[in-house]
Amino acid sequence: MRGQSRIDDRFIVDALKAGERAAGGHVTVARYEMEPKLELVTAPTLIIRPTDDPFAGPDATKLAARLPRARLADLPGGMIPAPDQLPDEFARLVMEFLDE
């Protein structure tokens, strides 16, 4: 859990720096309608599903089904900050995809 503590510390510092605007990114992401744009994605796409992320994890399969050249890769134990939480495992998935 030592690594998780550092991640939490960074999130707190970022939120304090942002002040009243700290939630702005979440609001912006929630308002963005991605679905109409999916058909425009024609490139091979890697979708990394953090298996323990209650928000992105469940929707990853639906997203992959909408992208004809998508590859879905599970990141066991991953949560919301997966790249920070499991950087080696995350990088391995990306490198495997790029090597294909």
Give the chain's mean pLDDT. Answer: 87
Same domain for 83 and 39: yes
DSSP state of 55: T
23 or 83, greater pLDDT: 83
pTM: 0.75
Dist CA 72 CA 91 (whole Å): 15
List the single range of 20-34, 58-72, 80-94 with lowest mean pLDDT. 20-34
Domain that holds residue 28: 1-32
Same domain for 73 and 47: yes
**What local confidence, expressed as pLDDT, does residue 72 receive?**
96
Which one, of 57, 45, 46, lies nearest residue 82 by Cα?
A: 57
Coil, strand, or helix at residue 1?
coil
Same domain for 49 and 95: yes
Half-sphere exposure of residue 14: CA atoms within 13 angstroms, side-chain side: 10
Same domain for 23 and 47: no
Domain total for the chain? 2
Q: According to the per-residue pLDDT averaged within each range, which of 9-13, 38-42, 56-60, 95-99 is highest? A: 95-99
Same domain for 77 and 43: yes
Same domain for 75 and 51: yes
Same domain for 16 and 41: no
